[in-house]
Amino acid sequence: MTQKERQEKSRRMIREAAEAEFSACGYEAFTVDQLCAGHRISKGMLYHYYAGKDQLFLLCVEEVFRGLEAYLRDRLAEILGKEVPEAVQAYFLAREGYFRENPRQKGIFETALFHPPQQLAEAIQGLHQPLDRLNHDFLRQTVSRLELRPGLEPDQASRYFRGVEYVFMGLLEHYRGPERGMDVETMARTSSELLDMLLFGVARRQDGDSI
């Protein structure tokens, strides 16, 4: 093994250890001491390659965002070929599919988006831009195929779906209730029910428009 290969192996080992620790305990509870003790990594080696906790967290966040973007992009053409409700459902569920395949990354993703360390918020926003552009392009193309209710602009609909995208799995969890399982068939059926209500509403105004 060459020196360059040994160095890359060491970097990869540290990054994988950091991902495991950030996933298990979050950003706030993470410590370099805990990482080194739990994964038999010397502090000298860690600080030889990385500046510390913040740099390691950003590297993990970048890996999550890049992996999720590639996963969604690989499936985008197939998803866009579906009818609008099915396309939105498939896009939302594809995100969850990625995290089922990469469970350690879900906690890092949620921390980065919903509870980012203040000093890293701007850097995280920059790392998220490619994924944000992909989401925006998908929703723009999808909304353009919808017949929107009177008075609703496409940009409003896009912003609405962008918000729903990040809370959809939580809504699905509450909607299905504890008595229903979460196998693939049940997930598809209940997500379809929920998405129908998100798209078309649950009540009707007296003037006939859904609310």
Measured at the CA of 113, the angle between CA 56 and CA 126, to 5 degrees, comes to: 65
User: Model pTM?
Assistant: 0.82
Positive or negative torsion for Cα 71, 76, 82, 83: positive
DSSP lists the bridge partners of residue 210 as 204
Written as six digits, the tokens of 58 are: 């950003």
pLDDT tens by residue, the chain, 211 residues: 798 899 999 999 999 999 999 999 999 999 999 999 999 999 999 999 999 999 999 999 999 999 999 999 999 999 999 998 889 888 888 988 899 899 999 999 989 988 899 999 999 999 999 999 998 899 888 888 888 888 888 888 888 888 887 777 778 778 877 655 556 677 777 888 888 888 777 777 666 555 4
167's enclosing H/E stretch is helix 154-176
Q: For the chain, list the domains and their CATH numbers.
A: 1-50 (1.10.10), 61-200 (1.10.357.10)
CA–CA dist 147, 5 (Å, integer): 56
CA–CA dist 152, 148 (Å, integer): 6
How many helices (DSSP H) and strands (DSSP E) are in the chain? 9, 0
